[in-house]
Amino acid sequence: MPRLLRGILAALSSLGVLVAGAPADATVRAVASTPDLKSLTELVGGGLVEVDALARGNQNVHDVEVRPSLMVKLRRADLLVVNGLELDGWAEAVVQGANNPRLLVGGVGRVDASRGVPVLEVPAGRVDRSMGDVHPQGNPHYTLDPQTAAIVTANIVEGLTRVAPADREAFETRRREFLGRLGAAQARWTKTLEAFRGARVVVNHNSWIYFLSRFGLEQAGTVEDRPGIPPSPGHLARLIQQMRQERIKVLILEPWGDRKLAERVANEAAARVVVLAHTVGAVKGVESYLDLFDYNVNALAEALK
Ligand SMILES: [Zn+2]
């Protein structure tokens, strides 16, 4: 590559213009368990970090099949960023199969992105399998609150700095710049949803409590009776009746959820289904962590009108 072109590319990349694309001078090979964490790692890592993800955006991230191709991704990785709180417990089996001790719990290349995040819905009593897929450490869908990104990216930068100490300042600068952009965007999202403050919605799976709480909306019920288990007819009948009585207009569904069932519940309750992106890549055009909220905020505001 001609020197001048290299110089221009380097300058653009340090300005954060060239966010996408495979960085030629990457010093760290990172893998994130989910697409949200991949995007956040890219945003703070810039051209210094090459990032891959284990789960795809169109997958239900609770439930990813452990395949040899995923283990291959981890074999040469310097850093693994996991969601934690048992959302991505399957990632542990991938690590076990990858034979890369750096990525084991407590290893130099291991980042638990949930460390320090204020966790919602931590169960008070005992949790057992009869309750469905209840997460004993609390609701794991914290990346859907943009405010948690400050903590999550601090954890990521700490991990990146452990494996590439010379680049600490670059990571910290990029993180500050990203949080600045995120803060401005969050003010915009808050404004868009302001008119619907206090609105009650029903969700398919209990993925949205962080998102709804951040923007002043309320979760009135869930289609899933117990997480991860098909709902009983009695539960659905009660839910439909409640939606009619409370005039609930919107049912939030993830692209991986049961569309037919959601449509049936919404129809009987005179409500509508809105499909939101549960993670980056879940819906066409949602390619970054900022896109995720742009899309979800606008789609939800449109549905609540
Ligand atoms: Zn869940």
Q: How far is the centre of ligand 1, averaged over its atoms, from the C-alpha of 243 (Å)? A: 22
223: nearest Cα among 214, 232, 211, 212: 232
What pLDDT shows up at residue 3? 56
Q: How far is the centre of ligand 1, averaged over its atoms, from the C-alpha of 228 (Å)? A: 8
pLDDT under 70 in the chain at which residues?
1-24, 129, 132-133
pTM value surpassing 0.75: yes
Q: How far is the centre of ligand 1, averaged over its atoms, from the C-alpha of 205 (Å)? A: 7
What pLDDT shows up at residue 8? 54
**Which letter does DSSP use for residue 59 in this model?**
S
Q: Are 27 and 5 in contact (CB under 8 A)?
A: no
What pLDDT shows up at residue 126? 73
Q: How far is the centre of ligand 1, averaged over its atoms, from the C-alpha of 134 (Å)? A: 8
Phi, psi (5° rounding) for residue 8?
Answer: -65, -45
What pLDDT shows up at residue 270? 97
Report the DSSP beta bridge partners of residue 110: 80
* 25 burial level (CB within 10 Å; 0-12, 13-18, 19+): exposed
Q: How far is the centre of ligand 1, averaged over its atoms, from the C-alpha of 240 (Å)? A: 22
What pLDDT shows up at residue 55? 97
Which pair of tokens denotes residue 156? 């990521």
Q: How far is the centre of ligand 1, averaged over its atoms, from the C-alpha of 229 (Å)? A: 11
Superfamily for the 19-183 domain: Nitrogenase molybdenum iron protein domain (3.40.50.1980)
Q: How far is the centre of ligand 1, averaged over its atoms, from the C-alpha of 167 (Å)? A: 35
Q: How far is the centre of ligand 1, averaged over its atoms, from the C-alpha of 62 (Å)? A: 6
Domain with CATH 3.40.50.1980 in the chain: 19-183, 187-304
Q: Please tell me the distance from the alpha carbon of residue 153 to that of residue 43, in angstroms, as a whole number.
A: 9
Q: How far is CA 162 from the centre of its chain?
A: 24
Any idea which fold 187-304 has?
Answer: Rossmann fold (3.40.50)
- Give the Cβ contact number of residue 277 at 10 Å: 24
Q: How far is the centre of ligand 1, averaged over its atoms, from the C-alpha of 89 (Å)? A: 12
